[in-house]
Structures are given as C-alpha cells and as structure tokens.
Chains A and B, each alone.
Chain A
Amino acid sequence: MRTIYILSLLLLSGTLARAQDTTHATSAMRQELESAARVATVMVDGDVCQKIVTPLAKEYMFKVDPRNQWMAGDNYDVDDVAFNTTKKTLIRLSHLTSFPSDFNLWMPIDGHAGKIQVVIRNKNEMSQFWRWGDLYQDATPAMQTVLSTGRQVTVMDKPGWISVLAPVYNSLGDVVGLVEAVTRVNLDAHENVK
C-alpha cells in the first residue's frame, strides 16, 4: 500500500512537473508573440491593406445566387501588389519568434458591421479563428475589442493555441484591421495540407 502511495506521488509530481514545463513554455511563447505583435502594429501599413480586396470581390462577397453557391468565391480577387507587399511583411514578422508562427491579416468588411474576413494567411496555415474555406465570418468579441479600442488582445481559448491580435492602423490613425500572430504549443504537421 505504501509503495503504491509513493508511486502515485511520484507519478503525480512527474505530471505536475510536465504541466509546469508546458506552462512555462506557453508563457514564454506568449511573451514572444505579444512582443512581435507590437512590431506588427508598427510595420503593417493599413493603407496598403485597404487596397488588397478588390471592389469586385467586395461587391460579390455577400451576394447569394441559388443557382451558384460559389458566386462569392468565384468573384474573389485581390490587388496582388498590395497583397504581396503586406504578405512579405507578415512573413518577416514571423521571423521574430523563435518557434513556428504565422501572422495573418484580418480586415473588417465595409458596410457589414460585425463581419470580418481573413485576407492573408501564411505557410504554417495556423489560425485560432478561421473556419476553413469561409470568405468571411463573425468577428469575435476579442477582434471587436481590438478594432474598436486599438488595444492588443491575447486569445488562448482553444487549448494549446496562442493568438495575439494586434491592431493595424492607416495614415488617418484609424484601426482598419488586425494581425493575428498565432502559434500552437504542439504543431500538427498534417493539418490543413489539403
């Protein structure tokens, strides 16, 4: 009985130690991401971001045709100069972290309060928010906070995920979008390879 008790204690302490390690790692990753996200706010040009999605794409984004369920996607288009300029910046920002991360650009949609779309994703294909394949979705409360206050917000709702939402400003000083700096504690090498 005593042996079992000691073994249980050892097992428990081992589990606790591992949990502590994970917590420390998560905390360190969070700090790095938050720091890099602050740089993103400085470096990502909101005026350029506002030029990415074309008027045609915006025009069709919410149109519904019962004969054509893919109408919005078929008409989705971007200005590739603005897209590439911003994407390159986002890729460089991901180099600021010592672990694999993605910096995704999210933009609210004019005339559709509460809606938001991911505009640029990156090569690890991570996001705590994007529903795969959706052109737009509801902005989460955290996203709305960033867009309305300009405050950076860290979200760890999904276990093992860390997303830092950083505001993106244009030359008028308006918050016109946000960057999701994101990583996972345990990467899934095969997810989203499709």
Chain B
Amino acid sequence: MRRFHWPILVALLLLMPTWCHASGASLEALPEFLRPDPFGGIVAPDQGGANFRTGLYDARHHVALKGWRGGYVSFQLLVKSPTPVAYSVEVLLTDPAHKIQTDLFREWFHFTDSDKHYYPDALVPVRGVYNSRLPEPDNKIAQQTAQAFWVDFYIPPDAKSGAYSGQARLKYGNNHLVIPIELTVLNGVIPAEDVVTIDHNSYGVSFLAEQYGTAYHNYSGNWFESDQFFHLIHAYHQMFYEHRGIMHQLGYGHAGKMGPEFAPVLAGSGRTLHVADWTTFDRHYGPLLDGTAFASSRRGPRPIPFAYLPINPEWPASYEFWGEPGYETEFVNVVSEMERHFREKGWTHTDFEVFFNHKKRYMGFPWDGDEVRFPKDINYFLEYGRLMKKAIPADSPVHFVMRADVSWDMEQEFKQLRGVVTLWCASGGILSFYRDAPATLRQRGDVVWYYGGPPSVTESSSAITESPLRAWVWGTNGYVHWLTVSPGDDPWFHFDGGGTVLVYSGDRFDLTEPIPSIRLKIQRNCLQDLAVLDSFKNRKPIDSLRSEAAHRFNNTVLDDWWNPRPALADRPSDQWQGSDIDDAIEHTNKALPHPGVMAWQSVHQYALELAGEAK
C-alpha cells in the first residue's frame, strides 16, 4: 500500500470513462451517426463506426463538440441499466448571454418488421428534465436496457465564438452521473441560404386526420375548417424549414379533385367563372406566403420559396371545355384573378408552380403531366404555356413558373419546353445520363432538382446525406423527397422502415404537432456542411471541393457519380422500358458504394479543415 502512488490513482479515476459505471445505471455520449439499439449496442448498419464510439470524448473525457454559428451541433446520450430503474436526464450548457439553446429529444425505438430489429428514429421533444424509467413504459420493449436521447445545441449567428461548458446529468436513486461537455463555437457563420434546396413532398391533407386522431375525433364540428387544422399544416412547414428544408403540398387528385384548402372557391361558368371566396385559401397560404407562419423560427420569418398552385386540367377551367374558347376564357380569367390577388397581398417572394401531377394510368386525363413518356403529350404543356402567358402580365412581380417532373423524355423536354417550363424536377437515374444538363439548364435561368425518396432506417445513418451530396456534386439546385409524411400503418411497433417518412405525428405523445426524426436531423446537419463547403468556392475550384467531398464520403471520384450516355438515349423515349434504364445506370450502381456510417463525418471533417485553412 505504501508503494501505491496516489497521483496515479487520481489520474486513473479522472480518466476512467464516465460510462463505465461499475454497477447500476450508466450514461454514455455517442456521435450523431452511431444509432444505438434498446439493449446498449449499436444498430447493425452503423456498426462499421463502432471504433468511433468514443470519438466524441477529448483527452479529459469530456464530450468535445465544435460548431459554426448559425447552425446546430448534435450528439446522442445513452442511459443504460441492466436492471429496471427510475431515472432522470438533463443537459445543461452555460452561456452567460443565453444565446445558445439546447434541445433534448427522447429517441423512439421502432420495431422494424423487415428484419425484426429495433431502430431509433422518431424524436420526442423533452422539456427540461426527462423523468422516466427503464424499460421505457410506452415503447414496450421487453428486456430494454438502454434509452437514447438526441441532443441539439443551436448556436445563433450572433453567439460569441469561444468555449462553452455544460453537462449531461443522469440521476437514479441517490446516484448522480455527469458527463462534462465542452462546446467550441467557431468564428464562422453557416450561410443562411442553402446551396441545395431539399424539398419534402406531400399529398393532400387526409393524412393529418389519420395521424392526429385525437384532435380530429375530439373536435366538434368540421376539423378541416378549424384553426387547429391550419396550425397543424403550418407546423409541418415550420418543422421542415427549421431543418433547412422546404415542403410541398399537392392539393388535387389524378382526376382533378380539389382539396378545399388548396384553391379559392369558384362560381359561374364560361365567361362568368370567377373567384367567389378566398377565405379558406388565404387561411391556409397567407401565413406561409408572407412568412408570419415562421415568426418564431430560429431561422427568422421568411415566405416559403415555392408552392404548388391548384391549377390542373380540371381547375380552374372545366375539362368539359378543353380545346374550346370557354376553356381558355375560364383559365385566363381565374389565373389573372389569382395574379391580382397575390400581387395585392404582396406575395411576391414565392415561386408559384403550375404543376401537372396526373398520369394517364390513373384515368383522369389523356396525357401524362408527370413523367411524360409519350412525346405527343408535350403539346399539352405548350398549350398551358400559351394560356399562362395570356393570363399573367409580363411585368407582374408575382412569380408564376411552370414546373415539370421529368424522366423518360427529359432530354426532349429540355429542348422543346425551353422558356415554357423553368422548374425541372428530374428522375435521378435518367438525369445521370445527361451530365451537361444541370449546367445548361441553370445557365438559361432554370431551376433543376432531382427526385427520390428517403432511405430506410435499416440503411446506415449516413445514407440520408447521399442525395443532398449528389445534388451538390451534380450541380443541381436541389433534391425532392417524393413523400415524407407517411409513416405507414403502425410506425411505432411494426415499422415499414420509413422510406416515406421523415416527420412523425406527435399525437401519440399528446402533442398536437409533428415531431422530427434522426434522419431529418442528420440531413439538416449535412445541409449546414454543404453550405459551408460551397462557401469556399471563391478560394478553391468548385470541382475540387466536390471531388474531395466525394472522396471523403465514399472514396469515389466525380466520374463515379455519372453514367455514360447509353444508346437508348438516342431512341424515342416511348421505346424504352424500365429495365433498360436499370441497365443504363449500372455504372453508378457499381461505382458508388453505400455510404458507410461515418461517411458524412468525414465530409464534415473536410469542411472543418477548410474552415481552418480560411483563418
């Protein structure tokens, strides 16, 4: 005993990882990309990053975080206990100026039917201290020994750079465990404007009644006319906006059925057709178009940049009159009224999209508005272009744009619809044949996005970053998740993997608003990094930045992200088959490995290095 060196013992105690609590519960911090399971392990797709499990800790075993101003820094906490235990968790950060804000979320573990495993994704907001027990009663996981939490630190643009200290605290019984946190706020400010627009698409509003059953069933009267309903729509927009995204809501069906919230009420017919009532439309769109819906956002109030119009082949003009003078009169008169109304309201910061979503396979109309396959259908776009030109004054400050979602025939449409369609949403697979297209379209002033869907939770945590990165690498303006509000029949206990959801209903947790997901958070953090990376294009060639990001992401070169132009591209698109396209994108399928769990962390590191260079 005399030979024992007390300083060494003290040092060992200090260095002993806080999570290694000998018995009872423990508290561990994890990087954002390592999603835990409810038994203390890491979910299988993220296990490639297990070596990074302790990567958050500095030499003093403090959680060491670093972030730019005007954005978020994230990590996770994991409470573990081999036996049932009541506990509380909180996260505190000391900021004398009270600028930096802390958001704590409990992670919901979804049982995923496809592989019979649990994955965390939905994030339930925690106000203040979280008090509960393990196993978590409502998640109903037998033998659960670990509960995860997501932590966001929001650093506003005017926060002071420097070091901030905080703690994550776990209390159970008379025991207290603490993980010290050091947040370094960097000098740089993340550009407020995103370099790629990430859109979250949705259809109609019936999903709200389905997912918010408590509010819907408890409301006496027509819930679809209630303030609650409109607030909920706005809450979805707020959620995506806060996560550096935008949202689209399509308001009509494939045969032209119009949701009453999406269009003004019309009256009359032929010459007398006119807008009779704007009330519901204005309740829905007014706060979105003047930005007041975002008054409480950390990003500041801002009108939504894009919105679908209700225009379709059956609205405002009746298809009964298609090709006749009455169709033109009805269309032009009402669209002109819309332009006047929007102008009078000052809604001049939004691109109002004339967008045809219908497909002829749904039997409403005889041409494809969405994804033209048969070249003859392009004539309909030309006709609507003519009608729009007639309806909208050339010097209008209101931005009406024609949008086309294109796949098979995109190359022809880029040519034939030049000056008519100015917003393109392209199939990623087919756009990958046409390497020059994004630059060509953007040079003439068009906006070009490509589309796909969110990755399942069964893919690695970095998978959600691949599409935004691809949009940036390709030089497009953005990317569209085709559906992000549809969680399936039972997301909580029999999850379908989440390929159509990034935002969940809070109804289960007595919340009247949507709640975010881990994938949405990781996507937001990726968009922050992309905005930072792109800001260095004044110092480095953009292709050099893209090359290095691709290399860090999945060890690829830029050529790997494009496919060679296939022979079928020179055949009329109505002679292609879907399997031909699969063959034509084989190169990228082979050349682009699935992103590993830490793929985006490597890109983030690159952005940090560049920021270091810039100092």
Are A190 and B579 in contact, with the CB atoms below 8 A? Answer: no
Bound CA span A189–B363, Å: 20
Is B319 in the interface zone, CB < 8 Å from A?
yes
Is A91 in the interface zone, CB < 8 Å from B?
yes
Is B323 in the interface zone, CB < 8 Å from A?
yes
Chain B CB within 10 Å — which of A65, A68, A121 has the most? A121
Are A193 and B314 in contact, with the CB atoms below 8 A? Answer: no
Give every chain A residue within 8 A of B256 (Cβ-Cβ). Answer: 122-123, 125
Are A192 and B257 in contact, with the CB atoms below 8 A? Answer: yes
Bound CA span A123–B257, Å: 5
Are A135 and B319 in contact, with the CB atoms below 8 A? Answer: no
A100 to chain B, nearest CB (A): 10
Q: Which residue of A lies closest to B262 (CB)?
A: A193
Bound CA span A32–B582, Å: 52
Is A118 in the interface zone, CB < 8 Å from B?
yes
Are A189 and B364 in contact, with the CB atoms below 8 A? Answer: no
Is B260 in the interface zone, CB < 8 Å from A?
yes
Are B374 and A193 in contact, with the CB atoms below 8 A? Answer: no
Are B363 and A119 in contact, with the CB atoms below 8 A? Answer: yes
Is B577 in the interface zone, CB < 8 Å from A?
yes
Is B378 in the interface zone, CB < 8 Å from A?
no
Chain A CB within 10 Å — which of B204, B251, B577 has the most? B577
Is A67 in the interface zone, CB < 8 Å from B?
yes
Q: Which residue of B lies closest to A193 (CB)?
A: B204
Is A77 in the interface zone, CB < 8 Å from B?
yes
Is A114 in the interface zone, CB < 8 Å from B?
no
Are B579 and A194 in contact, with the CB atoms below 8 A? Answer: no
Are B255 and A121 in contact, with the CB atoms below 8 A? Answer: yes
Give every chain A residue within 8 A of B579 (Cβ-Cβ). Answer: 65, 67-68
Bound CA span A79–B323, Å: 15
A95 to chain B, nearest CB (A): 9
Chain B CB within 10 Å — which of A71, A88, A194 has the most? A194
Give every chain B residue within 8 A of A77 (Cβ-Cβ). Answer: 360, 374, 574
Are B205 and A123 in contact, with the CB atoms below 8 A? Answer: no
Q: Which residue of B lies closest to A52 (CB)?
A: B366
Bound CA span A65–B583, Å: 14
CB 8 Å contact bits of B149-161 with A (1 = contact, 0 = none): 0000000000000
Is B561 in the interface zone, CB < 8 Å from A?
no
Q: How big is the B interface, by class?
A: 35 or more
Are A121 and B362 in contact, with the CB atoms below 8 A? Answer: yes
Residues on B lying within 8 angstroms of A by beta carbon are: 203-206, 209, 224, 250-260, 262, 314, 318-320, 322-323, 359-367, 373-374, 376, 574, 577-579, 582
Give every chain B residue within 8 A of A71 (Cβ-Cβ). Answer: 577-578
Is A191 in the interface zone, CB < 8 Å from B?
yes
Determine which of B224, B253, B367, B373 lies in contact with A192 in the assembled complex, contact meaning CB atoms within 8 Å: B253
The count of chain A contact residues (Cβ–Cβ below 8 Å) is 34
Are B577 and A189 in contact, with the CB atoms below 8 A? Answer: no
Is A62 in the interface zone, CB < 8 Å from B?
no
Give every chain B residue within 8 A of A192 (Cβ-Cβ). Answer: 253-255, 257
12 sample A-B contacts, Cβ–Cβ < 8 Å, listed by A number: A70-B578, A74-B373, A74-B578, A76-B361, A80-B366, A125-B254, A190-B209, A192-B257, A193-B204, A193-B252, A193-B259, A194-B204
- A135-194 with Cβ < 8 A to chain B: 135, 189-194
Are A121 and B224 in contact, with the CB atoms below 8 A? Answer: no
Bound CA span A74–B250, Å: 22
Secondary structure of the B contact surface, majority rule: loop
Is A124 in the interface zone, CB < 8 Å from B?
yes
Give every chain B residue within 8 A of A78 (Cβ-Cβ). Answer: 360, 366
Are B362 and A123 in contact, with the CB atoms below 8 A? Answer: no
Bound CA span A70–B580, Å: 13
Give every chain B residue within 8 A of A129 (Cβ-Cβ). Answer: none
Are B577 and A68 in contact, with the CB atoms below 8 A? Answer: yes
Determine which of B204, B314, B360, B574 lies in contact with A190 in the assembled complex, contact meaning CB atoms within 8 Å: B204
CB 8 Å contact bits of A120-134 with B (1 = contact, 0 = none): 111111000000010
Determine which of A68, A92, A121, A193 lies in contact with B206 in the assembled complex, contact meaning CB atoms within 8 Å: A193
Q: Which residue of B lies closest to A54 (CB)?
A: B374
Is A30 in the interface zone, CB < 8 Å from B?
no
Bound CA span A44–B555, Å: 63
Are B253 and A193 in contact, with the CB atoms below 8 A? Answer: yes
- A58-86 with Cβ < 8 A to chain B: 65, 67-68, 70-71, 73-74, 76-80, 83-84
Bound CA span A133–B364, Å: 11
Are B255 and A122 in contact, with the CB atoms below 8 A? Answer: yes
Give every chain A residue within 8 A of B363 (Cβ-Cβ). Answer: 118-121
Determine which of B203, B361, B365, B577 lies in contact with A194 in the assembled complex, contact meaning CB atoms within 8 Å: B203
B14 to chain A, nearest CB (A): 59
Bound CA span A79–B360, Å: 11
Known: A67-B579, A74-B577, A121-B363. A193 touches B258 (CB 8 A): yes
Chain A CB within 10 Å — which of B262, B314, B366 has the most? B366
Give every chain A residue within 8 A of B364 (Cβ-Cβ). Answer: 121-123, 125
- Name the 4 nearest CB pairs between A and B, nearest first: A193-B204, A68-B578, A80-B366, A83-B366
Are A84 and B253 in contact, with the CB atoms below 8 A? Answer: no
Give every chain B residue within 8 A of A123 (Cβ-Cβ). Answer: 255-258, 314, 319, 364
Give every chain A residue within 8 A of B323 (Cβ-Cβ). Answer: 84
A115 to chain B, nearest CB (A): 15
Known: A67-B578, A73-B361, A120-B363. A87 touches B252 (CB 8 A): no
Bound CA span A187–B582, Å: 43
Chain B CB within 10 Å — which of A76, A78, A193 has the most? A193
Q: Which residue of B lies closest to A105 (CB)?
A: B363
Bound CA span A70–B579, Å: 10
Q: Which residue of B lies closest to A124 (CB)?
A: B257
Give every chain A residue within 8 A of B224 (Cβ-Cβ). Answer: 189-190
Determine which of B257, B359, B373, B582 lies in contact with A125 in the assembled complex, contact meaning CB atoms within 8 Å: B257
Bound CA span A125–B257, Å: 6
